[in-house]
Structure 1
């Protein structure tokens, strides 16, 4: 305690290490945050499909961030924890096997997937089978944008096949189909360490649409209208 000092480097001698400090790299880890979005087929209105507007919305539909109910948008921030590193940036995986494994179909045709930059497209292949082109039928897209690509927008362009609730023909109940997009989301920290989101982290639920009965004002007869009508189905 008398204030004397000593240089440890001189004391130990050249080339001798008295102690070593190791800095462990911080890597992204999965968080408990779950990202959810909801879209409904009845909101589709284009050259291929037209939905039937009704009041049987899924619970939570009004909580969606986008007023257009064929779109679901939000932020991916919080899906992973990057620790001490800079905030995560997001990208899309080129491996679409996590979507292939879900067996999604539209008009009884299997969906294929294309990733171009920050856009994922789920589509039904035309007869040429040469990858995504103008002849194919786009069913949905997922786009990443904004700061660090942390904002996502899911857009439903055509109907998806939903399982019957009772496994019987003539099922007249609207039900829902969850698309798990987690395996397509890649988070990367400031050091370049990457992590693919865990299964169930990022889900978009698609509400089914069914035909509705209306009355022909001229004949007074009940006619079937609406529902998602797909000209290619």
Structure 2
């Protein structure tokens, strides 16, 4: 992690691209829909981190195995970190390291915070709770607006039908969100030689520009510093 930090510090001074190369591996990027995708190939194994769809805190990770043997991959061993301003405990500003450095902050004192990565079960529960509150708040607002108008029998029946349709739409969206997690979230898998497996993970978000990911595959640690900026920024 110390060498990873040194590369970050050099990158902030314009000497390197923000890619964490902590060993002999070669880390690269390619462009997808105006945004960067991060990848590394080492000894027949390619790891790809794609934040272009789910965003920085829901990256899609692909592993392509051409190593000549099967690989058992455990996504629970992935670790995520964010660089942080030393001594700053305010969540809204703690991770604004660019501003800190621009104002003469000591780059060598930057800290790294470990970030929570949800398990599939935890993320499913979180999404269910988020969707439920969204439905409740929407109904509260709509009900308040409906009370402002006339409440004859026809209007009340129309409001009831609209409410039923909204509920059906919420339930459909909720089911689709949970299905996406059930089918797409990274789970433990054996990746056979000549095959590829991919899925996404969800990380508890913080206000940062860069995300550090340590992804262990086949006895090797792949280190990435990922951002969701456009490729020409």
TM-score (norm 1): 0.29
Which has the larger helix fraction? 2
Structure with greater contact order relative to length (CA < 8 Å, sep ≥ 6): 2
Which has the larger strand fraction? 1
Q: Which has the larger radius of gyration?
A: 1
